[in-house]
Amino acid sequence: MLIYVLKTQLAPGTEGGFTTYWPTNEVMPIFDAAMKYKEDGTGLVVLAGNDYGMGSSRDWAAKGTTY
């Protein structure tokens, strides 16, 4: 089993699904930041690799909540 660890420069010192919520400069889980941006009415863009979304719908239903 392969386990990928997301490393980003958007949330220094973290690994996994974290980002910076720029209006307050607060580091938080990506989902929480996305919900705050939604509340603010700020549109977002997803940047992903070539294989993002590949696989069966069952596969994505199982792992989508992880991402």
Q: Mind listing the pLDDT tens digit for each residue in 1-53?
A: 555 666 778 888 888 889 999 999 999 998 999 999 999 999 988 777 777 66
Count of domains observed in the chain: 1
Which pLDDT belongs to residue 66?
A: 61
The answer as to whether 41 is a domain residue is yes
Rounded CA gap, 60 and 67, in Å? Answer: 10
| Residue 39, domain extent | 18-64
Is 8 contained in some domain?
A: no
- Is residue 40 assigned to a domain? yes
Q: What is the pLDDT of residue 42?
A: 95
Q: Which stretches of the chain are assigned E, i.e. beta strand?
A: 18-21, 26-29
pLDDT value for 8: 76
Residue 60 has pLDDT above 80, yes or no: no
Intra-chain end-to-end CA distance of the chain, in Å: 17
Indicate if the pLDDT at residue 67 is higher than 70. Answer: no
Nearest to 51 by CA among 43, 60, 42: 60
